[in-house]
Structure 1
């Protein structure tokens, strides 16, 4: 009886972990798709809300997105979206690749490979995200 109970606990725990990973993967894919759309439409102000802040304010790092009202921060958003746009423009199609999780400096990092196909060439770009109260944010 104890063995059956133990097996049930392991199965339920495993399925909860798998569900949480699938949920994170879907959220990361959704965020990346939004960034692709913002890249195509050059909606830099909207995209700022989906890219993790980096800069001198240590209290914001890993917690907040860029502020579109700040000219310097918006320029970093533009640079990020222009890189994404360039990859989209040179490729005939793109597909999601491998999803993985890890840790850096004690923070959970969620990474998603994107495969860009241009004729016979395949370019793999890895996009990494952090989870915040506002959702997943792209790490530049």
Structure 2
């Protein structure tokens, strides 16, 4: 595997802007497990090996979440995700695949049962940020360990 472009070197300003957004949005999440699950699920959907590797390792640093990582792609079929995690995952999938069905009002209402209006905005920004990271990583040919 070869890295196509090291975007960090090619455009340091873009990297700095992305990191600023990442730092802002990560600071909005008291529940770091929720945040990492969001990033892993979106990265699964987009097929981003670099981000999947990074965020699975980040989640494991928070505790024993091996089952969560292994079964995240089938979260609807396993009992150990909380209601809040489930609604967040459903929103993450809908926003990531927004061109397919949009974000239905029923889902929006479900999200609002578990998250305040400002938390909803933070979720949307987090979903969009990891989608952006995924698109950078995939387009530039990033893979686990490419910067080691």
Q: TM-score range by the shorter chain?
A: 0.3 to 0.5
Hey, which of these two has a bigger chunk of strand by percent? Answer: 1
Rg comparison, structure with higher value: 1
Answer 1 or 2: higher relative contact order, Cα 8 Å, separation at least 6: 2
TM-score normalized with structure 1 length: 0.32
Q: Give the TM-score of the pair, scaled to structure 2.
A: 0.31
More helix by share: 2
